[in-house]
Structure formats: C-alpha cells, structure tokens
Chain A
C-alpha cells in the first residue's frame, strides 16, 4: 500500500510538471516590449522568439539597443562590453493550473478520480518566479523557481549564458547551470496544448520507480555548448549531472543538430528575409529537421516487493536517439517527432526495457490570441523477455492519446486552454500511464473520452 501511494504521488508530481506556463515578463520589462514580440499564445514562441532564445536571450544585432530598462554600470570597458546591473529587480511571477471535467463517468479516467465530475484540486497548481537579465552585452542569465500548491519547490532553471565566445556571432555559446537539455531547434515549451514540445517518457516511472526517474525533459545541473552556424544550422552538445542521487561522476551526455530551410534565420539576424505579412508576423514558410542522441546513467529507486521491504536502487543506463520535423506554411504548423529509448535496468527486477514515443501537433493561428490545435502522442513500452521471470510476465503495452483543443489569450499575459483527452491503451505498465499524461487503466478496449481540461495561466 505504501509503495502504491508513493507511485501515485510520483505520478501526480510528474503530471503537475506538465502544466503549461513559461512566458517571461521579466524580458518584456527589460525590452519594454509586448509578449507578442516573441510569442503567439505563450509559451509557444514565434520565429523571432525562438531566435531570441537561441541567441542566449538576446535580440539580433546589438542587444543593448533594445533594452529600455534602466541599468547601473558596474564596470566600464574599453571594448564596450560594460558590466551592468538592472536598476529594478528583474523578476516576474507566473501562476497556472487546470480544472478537470469527466463527461463520461464510465471512462477509466473518471474511475481513477473516484467518479468525480469536476476535479479542482489543481485549479491553481503552480507558481513560478522568474529572473532574467544581462550581466553585459554578451552574458545573460535566466532562473526559474517553481512552487506547487502541494508544497513542492524546485529550482528548474538557473543558467548563465556566455554568448559569442569565439568566431562569428551566435556560433559558440556556453550555458552553465541548471536547465533542460536542448534536444530540438525549438524551445522546450513550444507547444499550444502540452507543456513540452517533445513529451518525456519516464520509462522507469512507468515501471513503478518512485524517485529520480530520468527522462528527456528533466532539469539537471551541467553545461551545454550551443550555437547557430550560417543562420541555418543549430547544434547543442551537453553534459549534466543527470538523476543520480548518490555521489558519482555523471556520464550523461547529449547532442543535437538541426537545419532550417526557408523562413527567418535561426539567429533572427536581419537581411535574409522579412516577414511575409506585417499583420501576421509569426507566419513563414519553412521546414526544420532535427536529430538528437542522449546517453544517461541514473540512479532509480523502486519500492520493495511488499510493505517493509527496503527500497531497490539501480543504476539505469539509457540510450536514446530521436528526430523531428517542423513544417510551417503561413499560420499552419505541423510538428512531428519520435524517439527510441533503451534502458538497461528499467524495472524493479533489474531487467531492461525499451520505449518508443511519437508525437504530432498541428496548429493554426487564426488570430494571435486564438489558436486551435490537435496533438497526438503515442507511447509504447516493451519490457525485456526476462522481465518478471520470463514467459511473457511483462507484456508490451501501448498508449495513444489524442488531444484536440484551443488556446485563447484574452490578454497577452493571460491564457486559457480548453482541451479534451481521448485515449486508447492496450495494457498498462506497473506505474500506470500518468507520467506520460494518460489515465487509461489498460483494461478498456477502444477509445475512451477521458476528460476535458480547462487550464489557465497568467504572468506579470
């Protein structure tokens, strides 16, 4: 029973972490500009916002030309790269949450919520405090502390960006600190209906792990080198501490490369292209291809077989490869990607497992404050044949989730998202589908109408 509670708590934490947020008013204050300079419906970034993020949170050209916030000069430099301190504390606050409705009481999602029609437990679920600014023209910082209404507090991001280290502008940048791993040309939250563009698959959590379940979307301490080459190719190479809760040298490394054809340059520098439509500056016609690889070794904890047994700690090595494509035609955008993970010790008995994850999101920006979209995610978990003593004790399980929805922006910094979850699963892993965003019990055949969620987020 204790183990089950721990699993449920872990799943709740993972589910909470999928709530959308991430528009940073500290940047809006710094540059005296609207959220819509970088975003359509936040946190989705427009091409210019993506370039700003890639450049280490700097505008194309001379960043300081655009800064309207007062600053105090801490040290002057003959090279012009003076050290500065924002005159006002560069902080911003965000709040978000979601309310779940179960229109179909017989769905496994409704059953998991004890048949309740409305779940308001997380209507206000998280608060974020962001800090963002510059140490100088080339060196910037970004930090994010997230507190949940359930009492957890986490430093998700705390980064210093040393930009333009060598060579042409934007070619080599160094990020030190804590954050998510750059595995895509686009921002980690560049989606209308989910939290992560690339959905994380917490394989060990799906298999019942209770803590430190590594996944692609985790926030880790480490360093990362990124850059944009010739405006069309971007890359990242990183090392981080991963999810090791004992003392050891981490061996988590990853790399990514992307190439963009058409549209705005990846660094946003001018001269290559101008927006096609002044009234719809997010529009472009472009295709971007991405590929990444990730090697991780993490400590993972499974509960004992029965109450009172000691926890089982394993060293799980995961190797992941994946790729993605973004095709944008005017206001219509399709994101598709998949990745494959191989875990050496992904289950409580120490056996291995693989996972295949696929995702698609199709969206159309009707107006900058009105974006209908549909998202599809598929997760397949394949335990090794040795799992559970063999003999098919641990079958392959699959889960498909279809999420049609609409994102609304009454004000540039206030958002509502209404989305439905339709789900079809064959089987269920030991930890349930919660950490992948599903709620199927795996026993119901066909497509289930699990819920309708109304999410709200605001930032100031």
Chain B
C-alpha cells in the first residue's frame, strides 16, 4: 500500500466511524434482577440494510444468551452444544417447532414477523429464552448490571423504548450526534 492510498483509507475509515453515534445508558428496575431481561431499542430507527444471522446456543441445558434482540428478516441458528437431545419451539406469532436435535446439530429459523418469541425446549421445560424481533437494526440487551450500549446509531432524534417480560417504561427520545455518545436512564415499573 502506497502513502496516498493509505491516507485515503484512513480518511474513509474515520468518516465511517464518525458517521454514527452511540446510545448508552442504564436500566433501573425493582427488583434489579429483572433489568437483565430488558431489550432497549430505537423504535423509529431504520431496519438493517440486509438480513443478519444470529446464534442461540443450548449449553448446560440453558439457552445462551437468555435474551436475543434481532430484526425482522434476520435468521437465528439454534445449536445444540449439549450431550443430551434438545428441542426448540415457540408458540407466539409464527409459531414453530424445530423438532429434536442432538449434540452438534443445529436448526435455523428466519423471523418474518415482529414480536417477542419465547423459546422453549419441550424436553426440558425449565429452559427458557426470549427472542425480541424488532423493526429496527438498533437494539441491545442490557447486561446484569442494567447497562446497555447501542453503537453506530445514525444521527438524529429517536424514540427509545424497551421490552421486558414483566415491566414497562415510558418512551423517551434521545438525540444522537455524529461521533458522539448519548446517554439515557430508563426506569422500569
């Protein structure tokens, strides 16, 4: 790579980084343990440019991750990484049952409708996960401390909303500037 090409590449890269901003914040819940099941999303932000692929693993008779945030037309690969058989089914919206699969086997499902899909295993009824299927590319699952971060958000003012299986929160707006970080505090009740 010669010097002009390198400089051009650096400029393009910097421009790309500077194109979007970041939305970070904290979700406060009572009890706080419920915060970790929260999805924060920018409700009126644009959808992904193309469908994305995600993965939901079954390991130690647990779905990993417990909550997955995706968008309409995205696909999820369900992988059995256990030594025992598993199943995946959901009763919501486009209900599906992916049958039995053994160690190392996987199944894929493309989500065509927005909504929240509970993921269960008919063979191990204690197993539970949620797939949040939104219309926007900009969403995040909060961590166990209630923190979240949504990167590469286009500049603008967006409605910030949440989904939680038990709690609700008032919708807020957040303004994102190019290359900047906007913060939000969301109280669940």
Contact = CB atoms under 8 A, between A and B. Distances in A.
Interface of A: 31-34, 36-37, 48, 59-62, 65-66, 68, 268-271, 274-279, 281
A167 B153 CA distance: 58
Contacts of A276: 100
Interface stretch (B19-27, B37-45, B123-131, B134-142): B123-131
A31 B83 CA distance: 14
The B interface, classified by DSSP as helix, strand, loop or mixed, is loop
B160 interface: no
B85 A270 contact: yes
A244 B77 CA distance: 61
Given A48-B84, A268-B84, A274-B85, A34 B103 contact: no
B122 interface: yes
A278 B99 contact: yes
Best-surrounded residue of A31, A65, A68, A276 (most CB of chain B within 10 A)? A65
Contact of B125 (A34, A62, A270): A34
Contact of A65 (B59, B122, B124): B59
B61 A32 contact: yes
Given A59-B83, A59-B84, A270 B122 contact: no
A279 B85 CA distance: 12
A60 B84 contact: yes
B124 A274 contact: no
Interface of B: 59-62, 82-85, 87, 89, 97, 99-103, 122-126
A268 B83 CA distance: 9
A34 B83 contact: no
Contact of B83 (A32, A269, A277, A278): A269
A302 to B, nearest CB: 51
B89 A278 contact: yes
A278 B61 contact: no
B99 A270 contact: no
Contacts, number: 67
Nearest to A28: B126
A276 B99 CA distance: 9
A68 B82 CA distance: 14
The A interface, classified by DSSP as helix, strand, loop or mixed, is loop
Which 7 residue pairs across A and B have the least CB separation, nearest first? A61-B83, A278-B87, A281-B123, A270-B103, A278-B100, A34-B126, A274-B102
A274 B100 contact: yes
B97 to A, nearest CB: 7
Nearest to B97: A278
A277 B97 CA distance: 11
Given A65-B60, A281-B87, 19 more contacts: A36-B125, A37-B61, A37-B124, A59-B83, A65-B82, A66-B60, A269-B83, A270-B85, A270-B102, A271-B102, A274-B85, A274-B100, A274-B102, A275-B100, A277-B100, A278-B100, A278-B122, A278-B123, A281-B122
A62 B124 CA distance: 18
Contacts of A279: 87, 97, 122
Given A34-B124, A59-B83, A61-B83, A66 B61 contact: yes
A3 B160 CA distance: 83
Given A268-B84, A281-B122, A31 B102 contact: no
A271 to B, nearest CB: 7
Contact of A33 (B85, B97, B102, B124): B124
